[in-house]
Structures are given as structure tokens and as C-alpha cells.
Amino acid sequence: MKLIKQLKELAFEKNLKNDFALVQRVRRIFNADEVITVGILYHFSDEETDKMINEFVSELRKNKRKVTVIGHFSERTLPQYYTQTLNWDILIPKKVNWFHKPVASFVKSFCDQEFDLLIDLTMEDFQPIIYTGALSRAHFKTGRYTERNAKYYDLMINTEQVQTLLEFIQHVKHYISKVNR
């Protein structure tokens, strides 16, 4: 079993490296007030997380932002409390291949969109989200600090002192508001 897991990890890393080398994106610093399009990546495992993300997205939309969201859910079927909304897609295990590369068509369209800002709200490593964030053509990308993310993101937030997703969202809002001021 351990060997299979290692082979999957190697295949994932090799595919990510090869696919990332093909991505052409224009990095751009922005003023927070000028952001129009936002892409959000997140993982949800319970209803509370789903509510927090919904509130954050609603806040962005109230500020006249066009928000597109991809969530990641580790189980095969979505829970009953989850209600899908427009521009809101969920990656479940059947939408990724055997080494965790997303194969859903909505991931390719998400990665091809040139968002003004990409926000990765994952607090742990989830390979389908890592892959999506890395290949995004967003002009500015932010997420939590990891050595792996350093290759892909423009602004990273250290989550060692952050205990909850709500605190992480607050940090993201704070630092995003400080960019290019």
C-alpha cells in the first residue's frame, strides 16, 4: 500500500511540474478596490465550513466582485446540507484521476480564467486543489504558506498562529487590502 501511495505522489508531482511549465500567466499587482474577478478554492468537510465560505463569497459579491468557486469534498457523495449555486463546482473523488489530478471540465475552465485574484482557502494539502491553484492563470494568487505553494503563489499567509478557517479568512482579507496601497 505504501508503495502505491508513493507512486501516486510521484505521478502527481511529475504531472504538476510538466503542466505548470506550460502555464503562461501575467502576474499583476493590484489595488484591492480594483479587483473585479475572484477565484476561490477551498475544502469543506462540514456544514460550518460551507457557511463560512458562503458568507465570504456573499461579501465579495456585495462589493461588485464576480466570484467563481471550486470546492473540494473528500467523500464520494455530497452531503444534504450542501446546495449548489451558480458558478460553484465541487471536486469529489470521481472527478479526479488515480493520482489526484482533477479531470473535471470545470477545473480546466477555472484554470484558464484570468482572475484578478485567486484565493486558496485550504488549511491542509489537498492535491486536486494544489493542482488547480498551481495551474490557474490568475494575475495574483494568495494562499497559505508552504514550501510547495511558494512556487505558485504571489502572497502567502503563515497559518501557524491561525487556528480556524474564519481566522484565516480574516488574515486573507487584511493582507489583500494592503496590497498596492
The pLDDT of residue 84 is 58
pLDDT digits (tens, 9 = 90+) for 60-90: 999 999 999 999 999 888 777 676 554 588 9
Residues contacting residue 143 through CB under 8 Å, at least 6 positions apart: 41, 118, 119, 120, 121, 122, 133, 149, 153, 156, 157
Chain-wide mean pLDDT for the chain? 90
User: What is this structure's pTM?
Assistant: 0.93
Domains and CATH numbers, the chain: 2-178 (3.40.50)
